[in-house]
Amino acid sequence: MVNDLVDTLIFYLRNLLLDSFLPVLQPAIDVGSTFEGWSSCEEDIIYRVLVPLKPPRGHAFHPELIDAGVGPARNFCIRVEPVCTCTDEQLAEKMLCFLHQPEEELRRNQEPSLCTGSYLDVHKTADWFHQLVKASWVLSPLSSQWRLTFLPSSRSCRFQLAKDKTKRLNIEMMFGVQQGFSDIFLSSESTEDIFTPSTMWLESYAVAEAAFFRHVARQAPHNSCHLKCLQVCARILVGTTFSTSTMKTVVMHLLTIFPMSRWHRRDLVPRLQDIMWFLRCCVENKRLDHFFFGNGNVPDEVVLPRALRTAEPLNLFQHLAQDPDAHAEALREFMDLQDR
């Protein structure tokens, strides 16, 4: 149902953008625990989708690495540059060349920019998308069946669709720029930082993770327990500094170590014990490798940039190696997790 609703909405959004010089919307991609099948909060489910953005006509996107960020998060800016369309006969008939036309003529024909300086701005993109959804909603048949309520967000478009008192859907539409032809995107999703500049885009592995779990689903036995393991782990993490992404990384590693025949429903307790054992080893050794950096066990169905496949393994627990107090606290919290 959510897929159908989002596809219909994107269809009407794209119609509003015909012949514009704004980013081109691509079909939305399901991401996150809800679509992967292991959401820990059934009462307040959020359906998250990533909407890839292609550059406006006559422009190109050029990602620029800012810094390595905290943990695996690499931060980028996306420079928007005009490209010459003078030699493209089809485009030359329909549009001005943003590189070679006089500036005065371009200003008369130019639409509001989503950039700050030369860089794509997350906040401006989110506001533009919000206004776009608002305008297209009136035109779509969805408005006669669902009531739309926008929810606060400066880096995505969040809204609730309500059909009646019992049927409500919370949807978050994030934006992303694809890295080549891979499953890695520069995403508008927020970071844990208190302040994130509006021109900063976070390297996201959400689409690659979704592709990995689709691959696992094709290999898994009927009534496999791997998603139930993730769901249980996510619930016991509440109140600790261990994140769901940490547990997800542990489970993904084990899914490539143990054959799928060992993830049957009857194996739930042994696999939970294996997850806790693996996590304990990682905490004690102050090392948990990122799943997509230099990991030869990542299946070929997950499309990664060559640089990521050949990269040095990235330690997600580097902060434990650098901070003895943090390491001691992690060991204490792990004992509490075992009890839970």
Specify the pLDDT at position 109.
Answer: 47
Among 149, 180, 204, residue at a domain's last position: 204
pLDDT for 151 equals: 95
Whether residue 246 lies inside any domain: the answer is yes
Task: Indicate whether 141 and 287 sit together in one domain.
Answer: no
Say what the pLDDT of residue 21 is.
80
Q: What is the DSSP string of 57-99?
A: TTEEEEEEEEE--STT--EEEEEEEE---TT-HHHHHHS--TT
| pLDDT score of 193 more than 60 | no
More confident residue, 13 or 193: 13
163 exposure class (CB count in 10 Å sphere: 0-12, 13-18, 19+) = exposed
Do 197 and 229 fall within a single domain?
Answer: no
In a domain, 209, yes or no: no
Tell me the average pLDDT across 210-218: 96
Neighbouring residues of 333: CB distance < 8 A, sequence distance ≥ 6: 240, 241, 242
pLDDT for 72 beyond 80 = no
Task: Compare 157 and 196 and report the one with higher pLDDT.
Answer: 157
Q: How many structural domains are present in the chain?
A: 2
Phi-psi category of residue 65: left, alpha or beta, with phi > 0 → left and psi -120 to 50 → alpha = beta
Higher pLDDT, 241 or 286: 286
Q: What is the mean pLDDT of residues 282-303?
A: 96
**pLDDT for the residue numbered 88:** 57
Residues 270 and 185 in one domain: no
Asked whether residue 176 falls in the same domain as residue 286, the answer is: no
> What is the residue whose two structure tokens read 């496999």?
224
Percent of the chain with pLDDT over 90: 68
Mean pLDDT of the chain: 88
C-alpha 264, offset from chain centre: 29
- Residue in 221, 280, 218, 209 with CA at minimum distance from that of residue 249: 209
- Can you tell me the distance from the alpha carbon of 316 to that of 284, in angstroms, rounded to the nearest whole number? 13
Question: What local confidence, expressed as pLDDT, does residue 66 receive?
Answer: 85
Task: Confirm whether 87 is domain-assigned.
Answer: yes
The residue ranking higher by pLDDT, 230 or 338, is 230
Q: Are residues 188 and 227 in the same domain?
A: no
Q: What is the pLDDT of residues 102-147, one digit of tens each?
A: 454 444 445 568 999 999 999 999 999 999 999 999 888 899 999 9
**pLDDT of 196:** 82
Top-confidence residue, 283 or 99: 283
The pLDDT, as a whole number, for residue 43 is 57
Does any domain span residue 210?
Answer: no
Residues 58 and 177 in one domain: yes
| Range with lowest mean pLDDT among 71-85, 157-171, 175-189 | 71-85
What CATH number does residue 6 fall under? Answer: 3.30.460.90
Is 260 found in the same domain as 189?
Answer: no
Q: pLDDT per residue over 256-278, tens digit each?
A: 999 999 999 999 999 999 999 99
Find the mean pLDDT for residues 49-65: 92
118 close to 80: Cβ distance less than 8 angstroms: yes
Do 228 and 196 share a structural domain?
A: no
The pLDDT value recorded for residue 169 is: 92
192 and 321 belong to one structural domain: no
Residue 178 lies in a domain: yes
Tell whether 79 is covered by a domain. Answer: yes
- Note down the domain range covering 257: 220-339
Tell me the CATH number at 329: 1.10.1410.40
Please give the distance of CA 286 from its chain centroid, rounded to a whole number. Answer: 27
114 vs 97, higher pLDDT? 114
In which band, very low, low, confident or very high, does the pLDDT at 68 lie, cut at 50, 70 and 90?
A: low
What's the pLDDT score for residue 318? 92
